Amino acid sequence: MRRALVLGGGGLTGIGWELGILSGLCEAGVDLTDADLIVGTSAGSVVGAQITSGVALETLFTRQLAAPNGEVAARLPRRALARMVWAFLRERDPARARARIGRLAHASSTASLTERRAVIAARLPSHDWPERDLRVTAVDARSGRREAFGRDSGVPLLDAVLASCAVPGVWPPAVIGGRLFIDGGVGSAANVDVAAGCDRVVVLAPIDAGAGPVPSPSEQLADLPGAPRTALVVPDAAAREAIGANPLDPARRAPAARAGRAQAAAVLDQVRAAWND
C-alpha cells in the first residue's frame, strides 16, 4: 500500500493553514507526514520540505504563530490576475496557456531574485532532499510544461522550491539549468495527478479551483486511476475568514494556522478513513 499526501498552493496563509491541519490531525492520532509520497505545489512545496526535514511538526506549527516582524506583504496585481485568467480562458491547450503566463511573468518581473532566494532559504530547515519521496512542482516558463522535481532530478531542493513559489506577477521566475520556471500552481492548484498510482491520497488544498482547461484539485482527485481511497480538505468558513483576501499577507499567517488547527477536528474522521487501514 502506497500513501500520498498532496499539499496545494495558497501563499503564506496556505503554509500556515496546512501546518495547522497537519499538526491538529497528528495530535488526534493521524500523522499524514509518514506518507510514502509527498507532492508539494507552491506553498505546499514549502510545507513538504519542512515536514520532511526532521523538525518536529509541532515546532513547525508554532513557528507559524510568530509575529511577522520585518516581513512585507505582497499582492498579486488585479491586472496581472486578469491577464492570467484570460490566458487560460482563451487557450484550449493548457501548456500553451501556461507558456503565455510564463512570458508575462518574465516580462513583468521587477523583484530581486537574490533577495527572494534568501527568503525561501530561510523558510527551509534543510536544503537537502529528504530520503522520503518528495516531489516539488514547477512550470517551465517557455514551454508551459509542468515538472515534478525530486531527489533524483539533479535540481537542488532550494531551487525547486524557489521555482514552485515563483508567483507570476509577484516574484521573478527561477533559473534552473538555464531554463526559467514559475509557480507550480500555474499548472494546477495542487497537481494531484502526480500522486497517480497511490492507494491512499489525502489532499490539503487551500485553493480548490480550476480555470479554463485546468481542472480543480477535486476534479483531478476524481480522475485518479485505480479508485484509490481519497480525502480532500479545503478551508472551512472560519479558515476562509482567517485567510482573508490576500494569501500573501504575513499578518494573516498566524490566524490561518490557528484556523487550520481548529478545523482538523472536523475533518479527522474523513481523513482517518482514507489514510488508515
Catalytic (active site) residue 183: yes
Can you tell me the distance from the alpha carbon of 42 to that of 81, in angstroms, rounded to the nearest whole number? Answer: 17
Inter-CA distances, 18 with 180, 205, 274, Å:
28, 8, 18
Q: Whole domain around residue 62: which residue ranges?
A: 3-72+110-275
Q: Is residue 100 part of a domain?
A: no
Q: Is residue 96 part of a domain?
A: no
User: What CATH number is attached to the domain comprising 158?
Assistant: 3.40.1090
Q: Is residue 31 part of a domain?
A: yes
Share of the chain above pLDDT 90, in %: 71
What 3-state class would DSSP assign to 136?
A: strand
Q: How confident is the model at residue 5 (pLDDT cuts 50, 70, 90)?
A: very high
Q: Which member of 42, 45, 109, 164 is catalytic?
A: 42
Catalytic (active site) residue 269: no
Query: Tell me, what's the pLDDT at 73?
Result: 72
Q: Please, are residues 170 and 134 in contact by the beta-carbon 8 Å criterion?
A: no
Q: Mean pLDDT over residues 141-154, rounded?
A: 93
Q: Is residue 90 part of a domain?
A: no
Q: Is residue 30 part of a domain?
A: yes
Q: How confident is the model at residue 185 (pLDDT cuts 50, 70, 90)?
A: confident
Can you tell me the distance from the alpha carbon of 200 to that of 263, in angstroms, rounded to the nearest whole number? Answer: 21
Bigger pLDDT: 233 or 113? Answer: 233
Q: How confident is the model at residue 215 (pLDDT cuts 50, 70, 90)?
A: confident
Q: Which member of 140, 159, 164, 183 is catalytic?
A: 183
Q: What is the pLDDT of residues 66-120, one digit of tens each?
A: 988 767 677 655 665 556 655 565 666 676 666 666 666 555 566 688 999 999 9
Least confident of 154-158, 164-168, 169-173, 219-223: 169-173
Q: First-to-last CA distance in the chain?
A: 10
Is residue 210 predicted with pLDDT exceeding 80? no
Query: Tell me, what's the pLDDT at 161?
Result: 98
Share of the chain above pLDDT 70, in %: 85
Q: How confident is the model at residue 168 (pLDDT cuts 50, 70, 90)?
A: confident
pTM above 0.85, yes or no: yes
Q: Is residue 89 part of a domain?
A: no
Inter-CA distances, 53 with 189, 198, 261, Å:
23, 23, 21
Q: Is residue 229 part of a domain?
A: yes
- Report DSSP state, residue 66: S
Mean model confidence pLDDT for the chain = 90
b (16+ CB within 10 A) / e for 207-217:
bbebbeebbbb
What is the signed CA dihedral for 146, 205, 247, 21, rounded to 10 degrees?
-130
Is residue 221 predicted with pLDDT exceeding 70? yes
Bigger pLDDT: 25 or 142? Answer: 25
Placement of cell 500552481 in the chain: 185
Domains identified in the chain, total number: 1
Neighbours of 14 (CB within 10 A): 31
Q: Is residue 84 part of a domain?
A: no
Query: Tell me, what's the pLDDT at 214?
Result: 72
Contacts with 84 (C-beta within 8 Å, 6 or more apart), sequence order: 101, 104, 168, 169, 186
